[in-house]
Every structure is written in C-alpha cells, then in structure tokens.
Amino acid sequence: MQAINVSIGFDRRLAAQDLAGSRAHAAMLSKQGVISSEDAAAILGGLDVVEAEMKAGTFPFRDEYEDIHMNVEARLAELIGPAAGRLHTARSRNDQVAVDFRLWVKAACEQTVTQVETLQRALLAKAEANAETLMPGFTHLQPAQPVTFGHHLMAYVEMFGRDASRFRDAVARMNESPLGAAALAGSPYAIDRFATAQALGFDRPTANSLDSVSDRDFALEALSAASIASVHLSRLAEEIVIWTTPQFGFIGLSDAFTTGSSIMPQKRNPDAAELIRAKVGRVLGSLTQLTVVMKGLPLAYSKDMQEDKPPVFEAFDALDLSLSAMAGMIDDLTPNPERMAAAAGAGFSTATDLADWLVRALGLPFRQSHHITGQVVKRAEQLGVGLSDMPLQALQAIEPRITAEVFGVLTPAASVASRTSYGGTAPVRVREQISRWKAKLEKESLG
C-alpha cells in the first residue's frame, strides 16, 4: 500500500509552491483570528527553516509521509511542536495540492513563453540576415515557388507566436486560487480566500468548491498548448534534418549541435534536431495520459488525480530542453545561399509567374494561361532547359503574343521580388514582418 500510495518521489517538485501556499494560509488565518499571531509566527518561522533545509539539500524527505504536504507538516511539527498542527486548519490536502499544482503549471507556462520568445528572437535575427536569400518553397516536398530563407523562417516566428499566445491564454484562465475550498465543500471558518488568492498572485479565488479540488483543466490546457508547440518544434527539426543532408545542403551546423559516428569519421549527424523531433512523443503522450486519468472521474477528488503530476512534469521538462536546443541550433546554423538559389529555380518553380504574366500582360483568363503555361513547361522539359532559358521563338510557337518582356519574371529573384502582397515573400515584405515582430516582442518583454 505504501509503495502504490507514496508520491513524494515526484511531488517534491512542488515544495516551493507548497511553502508559498502554507505561508499565505497561515498569515490569513492569523489575520482572521482563526489562529493566534504567536502560532502564526512560529509556523512562518518553521517554514523558513524548512525552506533553508530544502535549499541546502538537508531536508529529510521520507516515504512514510507519502507526499510533499505531509513531509513539510511532519518536519514543521519536529521544529515547532504542536503549533504546526494549526496550519492545516480550514484546508485539506485536496485544495492544498490543487493550489500547489496550479502555481507550478502557471509558472511553467510563463517560463515557456519566455523560452518561446528567445527562440523567436533567434529566428528573427537569422531571418533578417537572409531576407533576400533565395530558396525553393515547397508543397508536397516538391519545389513549388521561389521564396526567401528569411520568409521561411518567419513562418515559424508566426507559429511560435501563436504558441506563446496559447500559453498566455492558459495562464489567464488558470489564474484562480482553489485554496480554501478545503476537501470539497468549503470551510466553516471565517477565512478570507480573496486575501490568499492575492498573496499567491492569483486574480481571484475559484467560485465553486467542488470544481476547485476536482479540476485539472489548467493542466490539460497547458499540455494542449505544449503539444502544439512541440509539433511546431518537430516540424522545424525535420526541416533542419533534411536541409543538412548532402542531397540538400541548404544549411550547415557546427560541431556544437552535431555528433559524429562511432565508425564513420566523415559523419556530422544533426542529433539535437532528431531528439527534438522525438521528444514530441513525450509531450503528446503526456496529454493523452492525463486526459485518460481524468475522463471517468466523478466529482470531487479521487486518488487517481495523484497521477496528474508526472505527465505534466515530463512534458514541460521535454519542452524546456527542446526549446533551448532549438534556439541554440538556429543561432548556430549557417545557410548555403548558392545551393539554395540553385534549388530555387529547379522544377520550373517560376511557372506560376509565367501564368500570372500572361494574365497581366495579355489579359488572358487564368485558366487559359494555366493551360498555356503547362504547354510551355512540357516544351522546356523536351528541350532540357529552364523557363528562363526558353528561346523566345519556342514560347511564341505556343502563344504568339508572348514578348521578350516575359523573361523579366522568369528568374527566381524576379519571382520573389514580385510577391509584394501583405505577408508575401518579397524582401521588402519580409523586413516589414521582422520589424513588426521585433516591436511586438519588445513591447511584451516590457510588460
């Protein structure tokens, strides 16, 4: 029973939050006259000793006390005697763990936002340096239309911006204190839940005592946001893996973010990217794990909910490491502009530019211009040349009204420069988005 019941092995990570909750609760009890000021002073002094022991690594964590709450209370009793027993007045381990866990998840989400923004700044710096660096844009992993490397990186800035927003939204919703809900029905003591909520940095207390102790939506929402962010990290990691292959050769990574082979001395493996790609499984698995724990539970608290913390801890540990590693890789990577530019013109990637020119210059319906362009591409394949190298005579054999002006849109550079619609890949638009995001991140960092 002790082996299956004990949780101190993992919930000791809530020690700081448990001490904060206990301090707020003791101060409130004293102010409300529920316990004496002398007992409150003894409790607060004892909690300071407990905190010091934890920081020094000398705190005696013991399995017989099951969890972090009972370990702290037992040690407090050893330090200050019977007054320690008054700390648990008007609270239960149900609302105690709910407030501890909520504080931990809230802090983890806020820390994740900071890390996401660090990654965004690394992407912005690399994008700004490569606002004009040509590369192929892909659909189905086939060359589609030329873009710039800066534009491609800015797509991830947008993705991670949404991730940061999701974590902020989650924090806003979880920013209510369950402390004082007690076991499930509230407390008969004259407590002030608004005071403890404020002391702990919450906006307000939770409004229903049953919901207060049985809710883990805040953890599920945090894991949902973490899962989406991990998917974004995995997609970028996959591209880094592809781009570093000799077949692509778009970027290089230094020895700081690659590893060698045990038998092949020429290898430089992008292991950091591959591990980020794999760690998404931990995060997605954690969301599923907690969802399954919660899906069949009646109100209010059930012991099943003791299993809520390990998946959350594991997910945020994986996300923390992945975000740090990705920011490091983005700083470290070196693009190969010549290789990218050569690939940008492959696969008749400016075919859409030809179709658009036929619409603009000759007034053709797009569907007709699309058909003509298909014929041009087929003829270029037969001749073994790119679109920009097609003889004018060959073009006019398909559509007599085509003029030499068409060659002004058939190079990758011209194609990229022409995409000036808002959010497009034209360097001027890429730099606008970089400036917008720099200002946005600066504003958010100031508060």
Q: Nearest Cα to 23, choosing from 4, 42, 1?
A: 42
Q: Is 253 left (phi over 0), alpha (psi -120 to 50) or beta?
A: beta
Q: Which of 20, 19, 28, 22 is nearest to 196 (CA)?
A: 28
Max distance between CA atoms of the chain, in angstroms, equals: 100
Question: What is the 3-class SS of 80-118, one letter each residue?
Answer: HHHHHHHHHCCCCHHHHHHHHHHHHHHHHHHHHHHHHHH
Q: What is the separation, in whole angstroms, between the first and last Cα of the chain?
A: 49
For residue 165, indicate whether it is catalytic: no
Beta bridge partners of 138: 143
Q: Given CA atoms 341, 342, 345, 347 in this order, what sign does their dihedral have?
A: negative
Positive or negative torsion for Cα 251, 252, 258, 264: positive
- Beta-carbon contacts of 415 under 8 Å, excluding residues fewer than 6 positions away, are 145, 146, 349, 350, 352, 353, 409
Residues 6+ apart with CB under 8 A from 406: 354, 357, 361, 395
Per the CB < 8 A criterion, the answer to whether 50 and 79 are in contact is yes
> For residues 330 and 122, is the Cβ–Cβ distance under 8 A?
yes
Question: Taking Cα atoms as reference points, which of 112, 120, 153, 156 lies closest to residue 135?
Answer: 153
Name the catalytic one among 165, 254, 261, 435: 261
- Looking at residue 422, the DSSP 8-state letter turns out to be T
Measuring CA to CA, how many Å separate 320 from each of 133, 272, 383?
31, 14, 53
Bond before 129 cis per omega within 30 degrees: no
User: Which 8-state DSSP code applies to residue 334?
Assistant: E
CA atoms within 13 A on the CB side of 312: 29
22 catalytic per annotation: no
Length of the chain: 447
- Which residues participate in catalysis according to the annotation? 140, 261
